[in-house]
């Protein structure tokens, strides 16, 4: 009985510690569980937290994973004090990737929300702003300066897909963009959910198409009620030869890990045919 009681208290305190952990601490713990290494990147007075599995651009290839919006609002009308989510799908996907990969955190996320440079606008209305795009692009550009021949594939989930489309034309190294349930028309998305327009943000659907040399693959869940495929399909009509994969019974959160190994093989094939 004593052993059972001790086990109970161990589980109780373990759950209590998890409940008390901040979202950023939980994401860090998730990254470390995959044996990822962490790094702070300084870009335009902002600190971006990144995680990586191998040295940057080893074998002249790098997959850049750009996370979703997290939890920018605590309620429909209340801005979250800490925008980070408590779990990252992309970290789990990156754990399946044998290519050199980097998870690139956004400005003011991962425990940086209280830093002097940050304001809640950076994770609400300005989450896809020119400023955010410049900060993230600059962080990548600094790293790529030492790897002039590196081929970059941007991989974005949800709002990270938005940023992938916005960052891609700013970096000459980008050869491919992969979006997973990507929010590629933020105006249509806001109207669908009767959200306030994201004033100050850039909308990929309203900008020039990506250069034709950048390959595009967009993964959409047919059961995704957050970002329905119809919105994304319309947004992609002006893009040069985008490849779109519709996945039956996939929602916004489910079931991307089940196909990721196959997607990575497809990305490898794209790399082999890209000059």
**pLDDT tops 60 at residue 7:** no
Closest to 136 in 3D by CA, of 114, 151, 152, 116 = 152
Residue 76: what pLDDT? 87
- Rounded to the nearest 10 degrees, what angle do helices 130-144 and 159-167 cross at? 60
Question: Mean of the per-residue pLDDT values for the chain?
Answer: 93
In a domain, 5, yes or no: no
Beta-bridged to residue 116, according to DSSP, are none
Residue 16: per-residue pLDDT: 44
213, 173 Cβ separation under 8 angstroms: no
Confirm whether 60 is domain-assigned.
yes
pLDDT at 46 over 60: yes
- Tell me what pLDDT residue 6 has: 53
The pLDDT value recorded for residue 20 is 74
Residue 2 has pLDDT above 60, yes or no: no
Q: Quick one: average pLDDT of 141-163?
A: 98
For the segment 65-99, what is each residue's pLDDT rounded down to a tens digit? 999 999 999 998 899 999 999 999 999 999 999 99
Note the pLDDT of residue 115.
Answer: 92
Strands 215-221 and 243-247: parallel
The pLDDT value recorded for residue 271 is 77
Quick one: pLDDT at residue 15? 46
Check: CB of residue 136 under 8 Å from CB of residue 43: yes
Collect all residues with Cβ–Cβ distance below 8 Å to 201 and sequence separation of at least 6.
Answer: 125, 126, 127, 128, 129, 186
Q: Is residue 124 part of a domain?
A: yes
State in Å, rounded, how far the first CA of the chain is from the last one.
67
147 domain residue, yes or no = yes
Q: Do 106 and 140 form a contact (C-beta atoms < 8 A)?
A: no
**13: pLDDT strictly greater than 50:** no
Structural domain for 42, as ranges:
23-273
- Choice between 203 and 274, residue whose per-residue pLDDT is larger: 203
Instruction: Count up the domains in the chain and report the number.
Output: 1
Mean pLDDT value of segment 210-233:
98
| pLDDT attached to residue 4 | 55
| Helix, coil or strand: residue 82 | coil
SS3 170: helix
Alpha helix (H) residue ranges in 21-129: 23-33, 89-94
Give the mean pLDDT of 88-116: 97
Flag whether pLDDT at 257 surpasses 50.
yes
Residue at 37 is within a domain: yes
In a domain, 11, yes or no: no
Q: Which residue has the higher pLDDT, 35 or 14?
A: 35
Asked whether residue 6 is assigned to any structural domain, the reply reads no
Q: Is residue 2 part of a domain?
A: no
pLDDT at 18 over 80: no
Task: For residue 165, give the CATH number of its domain.
Answer: 3.40.50.1820
Helix (H) or strand (E) holding 203: none
């Amino acid at each position: 009985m004593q052993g059972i009681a001790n086990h109970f208290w161990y589980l109780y305190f373990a759950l209590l510690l998890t409940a008390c952990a901040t979202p950023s601490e939980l994401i860090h713990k998730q990254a470390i569980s995959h044996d990822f290494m962490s790094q702070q990147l300084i870009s335009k007075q902002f600190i971006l937290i990144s995680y990586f599995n191998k040295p940057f651009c080893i074998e002249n290839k790098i997959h850049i994973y750009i996370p979703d919006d997290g939890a920018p609002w605590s309620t429909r009308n209340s801005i979250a004090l800490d925008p980070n989510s408590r779990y990252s799908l992309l970290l789990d996907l990156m754990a399946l990737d044998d290519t050199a990969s980097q998870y690139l955190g956004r400005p003011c996320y991962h425990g940086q929300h209280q830093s002097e440079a940050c304001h809640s606008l950076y994770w609400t209305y300005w989450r896809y702003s020119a400023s955010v795009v410049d900060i993230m692009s600059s962080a990548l550009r600094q790293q790529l300066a030492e790897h002039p021949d590196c081929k970059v594939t941007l991989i974005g989930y949800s709002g990270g897909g938005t940023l992938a489309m916005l960052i891609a034309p700013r970096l000459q190294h980008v050869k491919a963009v992969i979006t997973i349930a990507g929010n590629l028309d933020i105006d249509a998305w806001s109207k669908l959910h009767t959200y306030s327009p994201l004033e100050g943000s850039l909308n990929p659907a309203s900008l020039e198409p990506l250069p034709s040399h950048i390959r595009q693959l967009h993964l959409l869940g047919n059961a995704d009620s957050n970002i329905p495929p119809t919105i994304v399909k319309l947004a992609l009509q002006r893009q040069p030869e985008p490849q779109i994969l519709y996945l039956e019974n996939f929602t916004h959160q489910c079931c991307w890990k089940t196909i990721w190994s196959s997607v990575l093989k497809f990305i490898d094939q794209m790399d082999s045919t890209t000059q």
